[in-house]
Amino acid sequence: MGYYAVEDLRKSVRGPVLCPGEPGYDETRTIPNAMIDRRPAMIARCAGAADVIACVRFAREHNLLTSIRGGGHSVAGKSVCDDGLMIDLSAMKGIRVDPARRTARAQTGLTLGEFDRETQAFGLATTLGTVSKTGISGLTLGAGWGHLHGKYGLALDNLLSLDVVTADGRLLTASVSENEDLFWGLRGSGGNLGVVTSLEYRLHEVGPVLGGAVCYPTDKAKDLMHFFRDWADRIPDELVIQCASLSLPDAGRLFAIAACYHGELSQGEKVLRPLRNFGNPVVDLFAPISYVQMQSMFDPFFPPGRLTYVKSNFVHSLSDEAIDTFAAFVGKSPSPYSFAPGLEHWHGAATRVGVADTAFPHRRHSYNFMVWSNWESPSDSEENIQWTRDCWSAMKPFLISSTYGNYASDEGEAIAREAYGCNYDRLAALKNKYDPTNFFRMNHNIKPEMNREKRADLGAVQAETL
Ligand SMILES: Cc1cc2nc3c(=O)[nH]c(=O)nc-3n(C[C@H](O)[C@H](O)[C@H](O)COP(=O)(O)OP(=O)(O)OC[C@H]3O[C@@H](n4cnc5c(N)ncnc54)[C@H](O)[C@@H]3O)c2cc1C
């Protein structure tokens, strides 16, 4: 990219444009997963929607590969591209909470922790994820499973409207009454349909929660998994549970069941009693805590700069055999920093939404299985990746091909089919309408359906990227 072109972009945006070698460039292209080391030709640190519009128009004019960075937490590293233009939204942190209407309009550079802090000032919150440094935008556009999903649905189920810059450089609003098809598609298709510049959420009253975890020796994993499966079928919407093999600094390898109860705390004590009375936990961390504390409980396990590789699919049956297989891998990951293997329980309001009501189709599965491996040195990559694949392969007979796209490492085209499932074809038609040249393709990519004439019109360079 020539000097004059870069200067043109600089003149048309309010935020800084960073090129290789310039101060801030390396810091901005670096994302938490150290497996990803890409070098964009330029990074635009957008200050608002007008900058995003200018970037999209510039990238189109110069035929540049474009990536969009929200919070940078995609394990597949889709927020950073090589050579092209990285549209960095992480400086766009405006938020306005309307306590009377119980809504929040938030710009898409906010992290979960920043968003929760502002809404909790009014005793309000909505479903987001479980690690506070994650970006609200990538998480919400992909789904957003978190501590309130049983009662209030996934993050995307709480969206009222979105502002989005589409591939032709227009800013559109999508809601139930405006651009309804786009509203449907944006709720579940990641960054496939445009750059979302702000999100409007429905909020709920959320006071202190009863949150924490019980941890057991790893050889108790099998018994615990049986308990977990039977208990999970009976828990109320107010409770969200998950379990994983992990390590604590002073206690070594453990098997943990974590939970968050949102509701009347005395009732929460009763609901959690069967778990806390089961077996002899070596650690019981349950206590009434603020929602903001709950939302950062897992942060110490995920510092930036570790290498991460994830395999994950929904479970079709958590049979006794599946539990045996799962338990055989507990405490065995090569790295003590891994959260693997693990299971998230999906239930309640999130699973009462129809598979085609939003673009996110995974509404009927009770468990999401994850092998979330983290390690510190590149020299350990081969061993950790192989172990992740071995663990996942052993569990494969009990899994379905459906994948939660937000947890997917970069496994090529098959992942997009698995992530969008029965909604893929409808999304491909939308892609055709809003992004026929596949301008937005640094994501789990939905290919536009394209006829021959249109392909010829585009010319060789753009068409070969489809
Ligand atoms: C430590 C950790 C914990 C996690 N915990 C949870 C959890 O509890 N629940 C859960 O559901 N998920 C969780 N996730 C997964 C998380 O939802 C995804 O990684 C998500 O993509 C993160 O969003 P981001 O904005 O930080 O990521 P980014 O990497 O910035 O973006 C992810 C994708 O979305 C696109 N994108 C981002 N912002 C926009 C935008 N404004 N407009 C258009 N496209 C955009 C990007 O281009 C990219 O393709 C976790 C991930 C990590 C690493």
Using 70 as the pLDDT threshold, list the residues of the chain that sit under it: 1, 450-466
pLDDT for the residue 130? 98
353 phi/psi in degrees, rounded to 5: -90, 140
Give the CA distances from residue 277 to residues 263, 344, 419, in Å, rounded to whole numbers and listed in that order: 21, 21, 38
Neighbours of 133 (CB within 10 A): 18
Q: Which amino acid is at 32?
A: P
State the closest ligand 1 atom to the C-alpha of 164, by its place in the atom list counted from 1: 42
pLDDT for the residue 454? 53
Ligand 1 centroid distance, CA of 79 (Å): 9
Tell me what the pLDDT averaged over the chain comes to: 95
pLDDT for the residue 464? 38
Ligand 1 centroid distance, CA of 260 (Å): 22
Residue with CA closest to ligand 1 atom 51: 73
* Full-model pTM: 0.95
**CB of 78 shorter than 6 A to ligand 1:** yes
Ligand 1 centroid distance, CA of 68 (Å): 11
pLDDT for the residue 3? 74
* Candidate from 406, 435, 442 with most ligand 1 atoms within 8 A of CB, to mutate: 406
Residue with CA closest to ligand 1 atom 52: 73
**CB of 166 shorter than 6 A to ligand 1:** no
Residue with CA closest to ligand 1 atom 4: 131
Distance CA 260, CA 7 (A): 50
Ligand 1 centroid distance, CA of 85 (Å): 19
**CB of 196 shorter than 6 A to ligand 1:** yes
* Candidate from 45, 56, 67, 79 with most ligand 1 atoms within 8 A of CB, to mutate: 79
Give the CA distances from residue 80 to residues 77, 83, 88, 410, in Å, rounded to whole numbers and listed in that order: 6, 10, 9, 13
**CB of 73 shorter than 6 A to ligand 1:** yes
Ligand 1 centroid distance, CA of 397 (Å): 28
Residue with CA closest to ligand 1 atom 7: 129
Ligand 1 centroid distance, CA of 110 (Å): 11
pLDDT for the residue 2? 76
Residue with CA closest to ligand 1 atom 40: 196
Distance CA 215, CA 209 (A): 19
pLDDT for the residue 413? 79
**CB of 281 shorter than 6 A to ligand 1:** no
* Candidate from 45, 73, 368, 407 with most ligand 1 atoms within 8 A of CB, to mutate: 73
pLDDT for the residue 458? 45
pLDDT for the residue 453? 52
**CB of 70 shorter than 6 A to ligand 1:** yes
State the closest ligand 1 atom to the C-alpha of 302, by its place in the atom list counted from 1: 1
Ligand 1 centroid distance, CA of 32 (Å): 11
State the closest ligand 1 atom to the C-alpha of 143, by its place in the atom list counted from 1: 11
Question: How confident is the model over 366-423, as pLDDT tens digits?
Answer: 999 999 999 999 999 999 999 999 999 999 999 998 899 999 987 777 889 999 999 9
Residue showing tokens 């496994």: 411
Distance CA 446, CA 84 (A): 20
Is residue 42 within 8 Å of residue 86, measured between CB atoms? Answer: yes
Distance CA 47, CA 209 (A): 35
- List the Cα angle 166/67/435 in 5-degree steps: 30
Distance CA 370, CA 391 (A): 10
Print burial letters for 254-282: b (CB count within 10 Å at least 16), e (below 16). bbbbbbbbbbeeeebeebbeebeebeebe
